[in-house]
Amino acid sequence: QSALTQPPSVSGSPGQSVTISCTGTSSDVGIYDRVSWYQQPPGTAPKLVIYEVTTRPSGVPDRFSGSKSGNTASLTISGLQAEDEADYYCSSYTTSNTWVFGGGTKLTVL
Amino acid sequence: EVQLVESGGGLVQPGGSLRLSCSASGFSFSIFAMHWVRQAPGKGLEYVSTITSLGDSTYYADSVKGRFTISRDNSKNTLDLQMSSLRADDTAVYYCVKGLGGMVVSAIADWGQGTLVTVSS
């Protein structure tokens, strides 16, 4: 199972919005609404911020939102804050009954 | 509060074996699928394995299939990963992760702090 494709890095200024893409195939992102997003600040364990494409777990700010079109899912963070600076990973369920992750995107808040 | 505490990591020689354990608390362990995910130093996340809530189904990434075995003991709230024929590219922090539901399709949700496995001579 090949990793999902994410941009290596994105950046934005405080208050702005950024979008991170996650491109898969018709065997994962394109066929299932089982896409999740994780936030991982340096030196810490990942934290779930979006699951099933659009759902935020309790406690995650509504500045975080998810969407999907075809084989590409996206995470949008609006009203950027310094604390949002982290690595972000997408994942998707696959037709092999396993999960696959993206390569990760480093978000820099300028 | 969900708590997942991994143990068993360490230094092992190529070709060797190691058993990781995860002690779970703060939730009804027996009704949730559990996963192992790893992260090589400075690299991204990599899916390793899943076991369903009752332990009746297991799933593996191609990279570990035939070498790793996932298991659970719902009476002790523990999750294990038996690793054999270890290779240098198995070097990583291994995370124990709780699913959102009981089946493999349930999102990978709550993460432990991880345990480091180093495969080197």
Optimal mutation site among A36, A98, A105, interface B, most CBs of chain B within 10 A: A98
Give the pLDDT score at B10: 97
Q: How many CB pairs under 8 A join A and B?
A: 59
3-state SS, one letter per residue, for chain A? CCCEECCCEEEECCCCCEEEEEECCCCCCCCCCCEEEEEECCCCCCEEEEECCCECCCCCCCCEEEEEECCEEEEEECCCCHHHCEEEEEEEECCCCCEEEECCEEEEEC
Decide if A101 and B50 are in contact by the 8 Å CB cutoff: no
Summarize pLDDT for A22-67 with one digit per residue, the tens. Answer: 999 999 999 999 999 999 999 999 999 999 999 999 999 999 999 9
Q: Examine the pLDDT at A74 and tell me if it is beyond 80.
A: yes
Asked if the model's pLDDT at residue A2 lies above 90, the reply is no
For residue A2, the chain B residues in CB contact (below 8 A) are none
Q: Do B44 and A100 touch (CB under 8 A)?
A: no
Q: How far apart are CA B21 and CA B24, in angstroms?
A: 10
Chain A residue numbers with beta carbons less than 8 Å from the beta carbon of B110 are: 48
Which among B44, B109, B113 has CB closest to A89? Answer: B44
**Closest chain A residue by Cα to residue B57:** A97
**Which of A47, A51, A100 minimises the CB distance to B47?**
A100
Q: Hunting for tokens 């996932």 — which residue is that? A: B70
Write down the pLDDT at residue A62.
96
Instruction: Kindly report, residue by residue over B20-78, the tens digit of the pLDDT.
Output: 999 999 999 999 999 999 999 999 999 999 999 999 999 999 999 999 999 999 999 99
Average pLDDT, chain A: 97
Q: What is the mean pLDDT of chain B?
A: 97
d(CA A26, CA A81): 34
Q: Summarize pLDDT for B62-116 with one digit per residue, the tens.
A: 999 999 999 999 999 999 999 999 999 999 999 999 999 889 889 999 999 999 9
Residue A75 confidence (pLDDT) = 98
Q: Which residues of chain A lie closer than 8 angstroms to B44, CB-CB?
A: 3, 87, 89, 101-104
Residue A1 has pLDDT above 80, yes or no: no
pLDDT of residue B104: 87
Q: Answer yes or no: are the C-beta atoms of A63 and A83 closer than 8 Å.
A: no
Residues of chain B with C-beta less than 8 angstroms from the C-beta of A99: 35, 47, 50, 108
* Amino acid sitting at position B39: Q
Q: Quick one: tokens of A36?
A: 């999740």
